[in-house]
Amino acid sequence: MLEQLRKNYQGSNAVDDVSMRIPTGQFVSMIGPSGSGKTTTLMMTAGFVPPDSGRILLDGKDITALTPQSRGLGMVFQNYALFPHLTVAQNVAFPLEIRRTPRAEIRERVAQALEMVRLSPYAERKPQALSGGQQQRVALARAIVFRPPVVLMDEPLGALDKNLRYQMQVEIKELQQRLNTTVVYVTHDQEEAMNMSDLMVIMNGGRIEQVGAPREIYEQPRTVFAGKFLGEANVLLGSIESGAQASVFITGAGRRLALAPGLPRPPGKTAALFLRPEKVVLQPIGGAAGGIAGRLPGIVRRVSFLGHIVRYGVDVGERDILIADVPNTRGRPVHALGDAVEAEWPLEDTHLLEAT
């Protein structure tokens, strides 16, 4: 549990009033752009950086003043931080050695930890004789060998290439579930965070922007920032005209768009209409399905074949090009550059957010 953590560096708040409950046994990721305060929050939690104010509680106990070692938390760093002169087994044994664990128990626990990360055959090697992925697994084994209640990880896969990273995501997640450990995981990689997390914490400028399950934040972003950070997004700026029956969204270019009845809206007259690209369907002009939907005519200005989807950029006469992601499946109409199309979407897939 973090309570109103604050850290100031040279007159600006790196972390500014961060409070959150970290549910036991869950995989919690902190995600945000570079400089948003993720590492500083994690380092305060680990005990390497003292907060200017606020408290850190572990199972109700205030650990804010404790040294990193006496907090008893596991830690995995991006650069592995392995001891080069020690073997794999000695690296993993290190946290137990400093805890003065009996020899026989150390041997058994190290063997178990290496088994879990599938490194048993490498126990007697030195770290430099291992691949990057294997070194990261040694760091992982070292973090879990003393069975900490919480493991903190800061961009642990940042140095690995994309394919290996995905494989390690799956391994770390499986290990976390098997051990039922609480993990707090820092990353700037949205897909990685979505793949692994029970709960995501979106950070922006030292503050928490939104906390929620990946699907919840993706489908129901509370701010334009949170929505844009988690994937592709269409944001149309405009204003809301409230009618007796239903409200209407007036786009920047003056087009009127239907809104779902009772759609929550931000205070004030201006708003951002938020719409994920995969909710947009493109039809030839006049081919729209009819019925009540959001609809804008436009001209196809970009076609990107991305394999699993075709991403279209449609000029609908607004400030930004409207993005439509169409799955690469049989029977979908294919549009070419310059085609006149109608972009259409279900009303319930739009959200009104505060225009920023």
Q: How far is CA 349 from CA 261, 273, 280, 293, 304, in A?
A: 12, 10, 9, 10, 23
Name the β-bridge partners of 335. Answer: none
Residue 36 within binding range of Mg ion, rule CB under 5 A? no
121 DSSP 8-state letter? G
Beta carbon of residue 49, minimum distance to ligand ADP (angstroms, whole number): 8
Name which of 14 and 157 has its Cβ closer to ligand ADP. 14
The option from ligand ADP, Mg ion, none interacting with 222 (CB < 5 to 8 A, set by class) reads: none
The option from ligand ADP, Mg ion, none interacting with 32 (CB < 5 to 8 A, set by class) reads: ligand ADP
Q: Is the separation of the CB atoms in 271 and 353 below 8 Å?
A: yes
Name which of 11 and 262 has its Cβ closer to ligand ADP. 11
Name the β-bridge partners of 7. Answer: 15
Beta carbon of residue 185, minimum distance to ligand ADP (angstroms, whole number): 12
Name which of 39 and 197 has its Cβ closer to ligand ADP. 39
* Residue 327 DSSP SS3: strand
How many CB atoms lie under 10 A from the CB of residue 215? 10
Positive/negative CA dihedral, 211, 213, 218, 220: negative
Measured CA to CA, the distance from residue 160 to residue 139 in angstroms comes to 14
Residue 45 within binding range of Mg ion, rule CB under 5 A? no
Beta carbon of residue 15, minimum distance to Mg ion (angstroms, whole number): 12
- Extract the tokens encoding 193: 């965070």
> One-letter amino acid identity for 107?
R
Beta carbon of residue 209, minimum distance to ligand ADP (angstroms, whole number): 12
- Extract the tokens encoding 229: 């950070």
Residue 39 within binding range of Mg ion, rule CB under 5 A? yes
Using alpha carbons, select from 238, 196, 210 the residue that is nearest to residue 29: 196
> CA-based Rg of the chain, rounded to a whole angstrom?
25
Residue 41 within binding range of Mg ion, rule CB under 5 A? no
Name which of 34 and 356 has its Cβ closer to ligand ADP. 34
Tell me which residues touch ligand ADP (CB under 6 A).
9-10, 14, 32, 34-40
The option from Mg ion, ligand ADP, none interacting with 40 (CB < 5 to 8 A, set by class) reads: ligand ADP
Name which of 6 and 311 has its Cβ closer to ligand ADP. 6
Beta carbon of residue 73, minimum distance to ligand ADP (angstroms, whole number): 18
Q: Given the rule CB under 5 A, which of 7-15, 33-41, 130-138, 246-254 is the region that contacts Mg ion?
A: 33-41
Beta carbon of residue 68, minimum distance to ligand ADP (angstroms, whole number): 16
What is the β-pairing status of strands 150-154 and 182-187? parallel
Q: Which residues bind Mg ion (CB under 5 A)?
A: 39
